[in-house]
Amino acid sequence: MLSTHSETLQQKFLEQSYRQLSASRWWQCFLPNVVATGIVLGFLLLGLCQRLEASLYQCLLMQPSIVPANWLNVSMVVLLLGLGLGGGLARLRFRYRFGTWVALGWGWLGFSLGLGGLGHPLPIFTLALLFGVNAVTVASAEWMRTYLSLRRSEERYALAAHGSHEGVWDWNLQTNRIYFSQRWRQMLGDPIATDRKSDHWVGGGQIGLVDSPELWFTRVHPLDLIPLKAAIAAHLNHKTDYFEQEYRLLHYDGTYRWMLARGLAVCNRDGRPERLVGTQTDITQRKQTEEELWRSAFFDKLTDLPNRTGFTKQVQQALERTHHQLESFAVLWVDIDCFELINNSFGGNVGDQLLISVSQRLRATLPSTDVVARMGGDEFAILLDQTQTVDEAIRVAKQLQEVLSLPFQIGVQEIFITVSIGIAFSSNQYRNPEHILRDADTAMHRAKAFGRSRYQVFDQTMRTRMVVRLLLENDLRRVVSSEPCERCQELQLLYQPIVQLETGALAGFEALVRWQHPEKGLLSPKKFISVAEDTGLIIPMSGWILRSACLQMRQWQLLFPDQFPLTMSVNLSSQQFSMPNLPKYIEQILQETDLNPVHLKLEITESMLMENAASIVSVLRQIRALGIQLAIDDFGTGYSSLSYLARFPINTLKIDRSFIHNIDLNSDSREIVKTVHALAHNLGMDVTAEGVETIDQVQHLQTMNCEYGQGYFFSPPLHTEAVTQLLRQQSCNRSSI
Q: What is the DSSP string of 83-131?
A: HHHHHHHTTS-HHHHHHHHHHHHHHHHHHHHHHHHTT-----HHHHHHH
Q: Is residue 221 part of a domain?
A: yes
Decide which of 133, 157, 181 is a domain's last residue.
Answer: 157
390 and 523 housed in the same domain: no
368 and 283 housed in the same domain: no
484 and 450 housed in the same domain: no
367 and 487 housed in the same domain: no
Chain-centroid distance, C-alpha 649: 53
* Model confidence at 58: pLDDT above 70: no
Quote the CA–CA distance of 400 and 84 in Å, as a whole number: 102
- The reported pLDDT for the residue numbered 193 is 59
User: What residue ranges in 22-81 does DSSP mark as E strands?
Assistant: none
Quote the CA–CA distance of 337 and 455 in Å, as a whole number: 12
- The reported pLDDT for the residue numbered 431 is 85
Closest by CA position to 381, among listed 339, 425, 443, 334: 334
Q: In Å, what is the CA distance from 367 to each residue of 370, 371, 651?
A: 6, 9, 60
* Model confidence at 278: pLDDT above 50: yes
Asked if residues 420 and 443 have their Cβ atoms less than 8 Å apart, the reply is no
**What are the tens digits of pLDDT across the range 90-149?**
777 777 777 777 777 777 777 666 666 666 566 766 777 777 777 788 788 778 888 888
- The reported pLDDT for the residue numbered 8 is 54
Quote the CA–CA distance of 547 and 402 in Å, as a whole number: 50
Cβ–Cβ contacts within 10 Å for residue 635, how many?
A: 26
Q: Is residue 647 part of a domain?
A: yes
Quote the CA–CA distance of 145 and 140 in Å, as a whole number: 9
Cis check for the bond before 565: say yes or no (omega within 30 of 0): yes
Q: What CATH number did the domain enclosing 496 receive?
A: 3.20.20.450
Quote the CA–CA distance of 411 and 421 in Å, as a whole number: 27
Element (H, E) at 637: none
Closest by CA position to 61, among listed 140, 21, 118, 137: 118
Q: Is residue 2 part of a domain?
A: no
Average pLDDT over residues 559-587: 88
* Model confidence at 331: pLDDT above 90: yes
Quote the CA–CA distance of 476 and 161 in Å, as a whole number: 69
Is the four-CA dihedral 115, 116, 122, 126 of positive or negative sign? positive
- The reported pLDDT for the residue numbered 641 is 55
- The reported pLDDT for the residue numbered 73 is 63
The number of residues in the chain equals: 737
In three-state secondary structure terms, 569 is: strand
Q: Which of 1-15, 265-279, 302-316 has the lowest mean pLDDT?
A: 1-15
Q: In Å, what is the CA distance from 224 to each residue of 16, 184, 228, 246?
A: 58, 19, 6, 8
Q: Which of 194-208, 212-226, 350-364, 456-470 has the lowest mean pLDDT?
A: 194-208
266 forms beta bridges with: 275
Quote the CA–CA distance of 426 and 433 in Å, as a whole number: 10
- Share of residues in the chain with pLDDT > 90 (%): 34
Average pLDDT over residues 271-296: 87
* Model confidence at 723: pLDDT above 80: yes
577 and 669 housed in the same domain: yes
52 or 685, which is more confident? 685
Average pLDDT over residues 163-177: 83
* Model confidence at 263: pLDDT above 50: yes
Asked if residues 690 and 636 have their Cβ atoms less than 8 Å apart, the reply is no
**What are the tens digits of pLDDT across the range 697-713?**
898 888 888 999 999 99
Quote the CA–CA distance of 312 and 334 in Å, as a whole number: 16
Closest by CA position to 361, among listed 302, 413, 444, 303: 303
Strand pairing report for 379-384 and 330-336? antiparallel
573 and 671 housed in the same domain: yes
Quote the CA–CA distance of 537 and 585 in Å, as a whole number: 17
Q: Which of 116-120, 171-175, 445-449, 580-584 has the lowest mean pLDDT?
A: 116-120
Give the pLDDT band of residue 202 (cuts 50, 70, 90).
Answer: very low
Closest by CA position to 692, among listed 499, 439, 490, 473: 499
Residues 6+ apart with CB under 8 A from 83: 33, 34, 37
Q: How far apart are the first and last CA of the chain?
A: 135
Decide which of 458, 487, 506 is a domain's last residue.
Answer: 458
96 or 185, which is more confident? 185
- The reported pLDDT for the residue numbered 322 is 81
- The reported pLDDT for the residue numbered 17 is 44
558 and 674 housed in the same domain: yes
- The reported pLDDT for the residue numbered 56 is 66
Quote the CA–CA distance of 346 and 409 in Å, as a whole number: 13
Q: What CATH number did the domain enclosing 282 receive?
A: 3.30.450.20
Q: What is the number of domains present in the chain? A: 4
Q: Which of 13-17, 433-437, 677-681 has the lowest mean pLDDT?
A: 13-17
Residues 6+ apart with CB under 8 A from 487: 479, 480, 544
* Model confidence at 565: pLDDT above 80: yes
Quote the CA–CA distance of 50 and 55 in Å, as a whole number: 9
Q: Which of 182-186, 332-336, 714-718 has the lowest mean pLDDT?
A: 182-186
* Model confidence at 437: pLDDT above 80: yes
- The reported pLDDT for the residue numbered 603 is 92
Element (H, E) at 156: helix 125-163
Is the four-CA dihedral 702, 704, 707, 708 of positive or negative sign? negative
**What are the tens digits of pLDDT across the range 416-425?**
999 999 999 8
- The reported pLDDT for the residue numbered 25 is 64
- The reported pLDDT for the residue numbered 118 is 67
User: Taking all residues of the chain, what is their mean pLDDT, rounded to a whole number?
Assistant: 82
* Model confidence at 736: pLDDT above 70: no
Q: Could you say which DSSP state residue 239 is in?
A: S
- The reported pLDDT for the residue numbered 692 is 92
CA diameter of the chain: 176
* Model confidence at 435: pLDDT above 70: yes
Radius of gyration of the chain (CA): 52
Q: Is residue 357 part of a domain?
A: yes
Q: What CATH number did the domain enclosing 316 receive?
A: 3.30.70.270
Q: At 721, phi and psi to the nearest 5?
A: -65, -40
Closest by CA position to 602, among listed 574, 576, 580, 570: 570
Is the four-CA dihedral 237, 241, 246, 251 of positive or negative sign? positive
518 and 592 housed in the same domain: yes
Range among 29-38, 87-96, 343-352 with highest mean pLDDT value: 343-352
Cβ–Cβ contacts within 10 Å for residue 312, how many?
A: 20
* Model confidence at 14: pLDDT above 60: no
Q: Please, how many CA atoms are within 13 Å of residue 518, restricted to the half-sphere of its CB?
A: 9
Q: Is residue 1 part of a domain?
A: no
Give the pLDDT band of residue 22 (cuts 50, 70, 90).
Answer: very low
Q: Which of 29-33, 275-279, 305-309, 400-404 has the lowest mean pLDDT?
A: 29-33
- Share of residues in the chain with pLDDT > 70 (%): 83
267 and 312 housed in the same domain: no
Give the pLDDT band of residue 158 (cuts 50, 70, 90).
Answer: low
Closest by CA position to 335, among listed 406, 260, 422: 422
Decide which of 96, 129, 157 is a domain's last residue.
Answer: 157
- The reported pLDDT for the residue numbered 16 is 46
In three-state secondary structure terms, 681 is: helix
- The reported pLDDT for the residue numbered 55 is 73
Q: Is residue 6 part of a domain?
A: no
* Model confidence at 201: pLDDT above 70: no
81 or 168, which is more confident? 168
Q: What does the DSSP assignment read for 170-212?
A: EEETTTTEEEE-HHHHHHTT-TTTTT-SS-----TTSSS--S-
Domain containing residue 355 = 299-458
* Model confidence at 175: pLDDT above 60: yes
* Model confidence at 2: pLDDT above 50: no
Q: Is residue 580 part of a domain?
A: yes
- The reported pLDDT for the residue numbered 84 is 73
548 or 53, which is more confident? 548
115 and 205 housed in the same domain: no
Q: Is residue 463 part of a domain?
A: no
383 and 505 housed in the same domain: no
Buried b (16+ CB within 10 A) or exposed e, 643-675: eebeebebbbbbbbbebbbebbeeeebbebbee
Q: Which of 105-114, 511-520, 667-676 has the lowest mean pLDDT?
A: 105-114
440 or 450, which is more confident? 440
Quote the CA–CA distance of 240 and 164 in Å, as a whole number: 25
Quote the CA–CA distance of 420 and 423 in Å, as a whole number: 10
276 and 365 housed in the same domain: no
Q: Kindly report the CA angle at 96 between 94 and 97, in degrees rounded to 5?
A: 65
Q: Kindly report the CA angle at 512 between 508 and 515, in degrees rounded to 5?
A: 155
Q: Which of 262-266, 285-289, 480-484 has the lowest mean pLDDT?
A: 480-484
- The reported pLDDT for the residue numbered 18 is 43
Is the pTM value of this prediction over 0.85? no
